[in-house]
């Protein structure tokens, strides 16, 4: 069993930055693909970014490309999401997720992930 704990959310003005962190328990974190998803009120959960076990393959949703960066530190069992140039439409609950498969190209579907964090709220004011 893997536990994921997100942190770093909060309230920020448009154009500002936040860095989300997701700390994972367990000794097998380094073999997992990881993803960040978000869900705004009344909307479906959507992928934001993914990263494979080594960090050699990343994916970004078109809406965040060029503004967000996903990274991981396997020695610290942590994955990060650096969010710059935030917009009001980025407001959502952000979730960290882990996929037990060591795939080269991680899934961009929520159903492809086995473990989820509790989520952290990000609110961007205009």
Give the pLDDT score at 87: 98
Give the pLDDT score at 23: 97
Q: What are phi and psi of 110, to 5 degrees?
A: -60, -35
Give the pLDDT score at 104: 82
Q: What is the DSSP letter of 109?
A: S
Give the pLDDT score at 72: 97
Give the pLDDT score at 60: 98
Tell me the mean pLDDT per 10 residues along the chain, length 126: 94 98 90 96 96 95 98 96 98 96 87 96 97
Give the pLDDT score at 6: 97
Give the pLDDT score at 43: 96
Give the pLDDT score at 1: 81
**C-beta of residue 15 within 8 angstroms of C-beta of residue 85:** yes
Give the pLDDT score at 89: 97
**C-beta of residue 2 within 8 angstroms of C-beta of residue 28:** yes
């Amino acid at each position: 069993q893997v536990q994921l704990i997100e942190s770093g959310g909060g309230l920020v003005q448009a154009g500002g930055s936040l860095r989300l962190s997701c700390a994972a328990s367990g000794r097998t974190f380094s073999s997992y693909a990881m993803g960040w998803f978000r869900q705004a009120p009344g909307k479906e959960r959507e992928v934001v970014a993914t990263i494979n076990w080594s960090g050699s393959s990343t994916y970004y949703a078109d809406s965040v490309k060029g503004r967000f960066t996903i990274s991981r530190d396997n020695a610290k069992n942590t994955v990060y999401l650096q969010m710059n140039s935030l917009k009001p439409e980025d407001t959502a609950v952000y979730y960290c997720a882990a996929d037990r498969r060591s795939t080269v190209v991680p899934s961009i579907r929520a159903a492809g992930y086995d473990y989820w964090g509790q989520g952290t709220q990000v609110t961007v004011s205009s």
